């Protein structure tokens, strides 16, 4: 007898290559059965989820869940469990000088599992644009913060925006890599300067720092149309990005720019990914997110 029997759901499990209608029997906190047409009398509680997707907990690798410190931060459970996401990773809201409140107030206050990437700059994204000069970077303080919070901090974040990125962007990435490599952690690099056409960011900055990125590192906002994007002048994807992906780098999209501009490359750099332990697992291309959360308009 199963404690819970979930019937008629579309079960998607990329690890097992599953995408079909199956029933799931749960005993305690473990999945005890996965089969078609399990008799309903075998469940103490039966849930009919016909027309819905049943999948392992979704992980959002890039969000901001440090409200009060980052102006665009939201509560973890809003980005997390209320959206069907069991784990979120904060993308650099906090630097070493502002990180203290994260394990004290953010993580204990939510049902969602929360990890984070520590920002290269002292105050993270509490004031933007950040990284205006080298005084904001203290490698020793970063190292101490990571050593004391290895259970939460899973990488280093930096953004290719602002004055210091414009004049020493490659050196910034190298500095982040030095700290990350000490702990065997990845870096996440944000591209696309928010200032727009007046940005001081060199258009070739992304091309210049991509050779520094290694397996597990993450390039985020890859579909941005802003300065520092991944396109050459002929709208072809930078060859350095293709080489980085061959080395095992990841690319993620959280951009509202025109994706059709990527000539012949959209499928290769598909944004419809679920990231788990820095591995890429695709949902089927015909997945309708409205079928996962029918009442949600912001997924």
What is the per-residue pLDDT across 148-170, written as a single tens digit (0 to 9) for each? Answer: 999 999 999 999 998 899 999 99
Confidence at 284, pLDDT banded by 50, 70, 90: very low
Extract long-range pairs of 264-271: CB within 8 Å, 24+ residues apart.
265/236, 265/237, 268/237, 269/222, 269/223, 269/230, 269/237, 271/222, 271/223
The pLDDT value recorded for residue 40 is: 95
Burial grade of 94 (CB within 10 A; 0-12, 13-18, 19 or more): buried
For the chain, domain boundaries? 2-55, 58-281
- Structure tokens given for 31: 């999945």
**Overall average pLDDT of the 189-209 stretch:** 81
pLDDT greater at residue 281 or residue 99? 99
Please say if the pLDDT value at position 287 is more than 90: no
What is the per-residue pLDDT across 217-240, written as a single tens digit (0 to 9) for each? Answer: 999 988 888 888 888 888 888 999
Burial grade of 233 (CB within 10 A; 0-12, 13-18, 19 or more): exposed
CATH number of 2-55: 2.30.40.10
CA distances, 192 to each of 39, 256, 260, 274, 298 (Å): 53, 12, 17, 22, 22
Q: Is the peptide bond before 252 cis (omega within 30 degrees of 0)?
A: no
Query: Cα separation of 191 and 201, whole Å?
Result: 10
Query: Cα separation of 44 and 293, whole Å?
Result: 25
The domain 58-281 is classified under which CATH number: 1.10.287.40, 3.20.20.140, 3.40.50.2300, 3.30.365.10? 3.20.20.140
The gap from C-alpha 26 to its chain's centroid, in whole angstroms, comes to: 29
What is the per-residue pLDDT across 31-65, written as a single tens digit (0 to 9) for each? Answer: 999 999 999 999 999 999 999 999 988 899 999 99
CA distances, 283 to each of 48, 58, 139, 189, 221 (Å): 22, 11, 38, 24, 19
The pLDDT value recorded for residue 155 is: 97
């Amino acid at each position: 007898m199963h404690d819970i029997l979930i019937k008629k759901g579309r079960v998607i499990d990329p690890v097992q290559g599953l995408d079909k209608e199956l029933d799931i029997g749960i005993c305690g906190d473990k999945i005890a059965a996965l089969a078609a047409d399990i008799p309903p009398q075998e469940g103490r509680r039966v849930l009919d989820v016909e027309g819905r997707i049943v999948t392992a907990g979704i992980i959002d690798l890039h969000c901001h869940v440090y409200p009060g410190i980052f102006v665009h931060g939201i509560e973890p459970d809003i980005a997390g469990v209320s959206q069907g996401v069991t784990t979120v990773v904060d993308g650099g809201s906090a630097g070493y000088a502002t990180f203290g409140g994260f394990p004290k107030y953010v993580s204990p206050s939510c049902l969602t599992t929360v990890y984070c990437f520590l920002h290269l700059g002292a105050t993270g994204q509490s004031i933007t644009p950040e990284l205006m000069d080298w005084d904001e970077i203290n490698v020793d303080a970063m190292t101490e913060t990571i050593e004391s919070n290895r259970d939460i901090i899973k990488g280093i974040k930096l953004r290719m925006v602002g004055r210091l990125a414009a004049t020493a962007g490659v050196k910034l990435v190298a500095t982040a890599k030095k700290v990350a490599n000490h702990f065997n952690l990845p870096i996440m690099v944000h591209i696309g300067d928010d200032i727009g056409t007046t940005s001081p960011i060199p258009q070739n900055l992304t091309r210049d720092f991509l050779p520094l990125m290694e397996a597990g590192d993450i390039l985020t906002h890859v579909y941005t149309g802003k300065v520092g994007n991944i396109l050459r002048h002929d709208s072809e994807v930078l060859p350095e990005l293709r080489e980085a992906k061959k080395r095992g780098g990841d690319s993620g999209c959280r951009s509202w720019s025109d994706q059709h501009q990527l000539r012949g490359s959209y499928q290769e750099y598909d944004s419809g990914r679920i990231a788990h332990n820095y591995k890429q697992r695709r949902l089927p291309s015909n997945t309708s997110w409205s079928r996962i959360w029918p009442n949600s308009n912001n997924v």
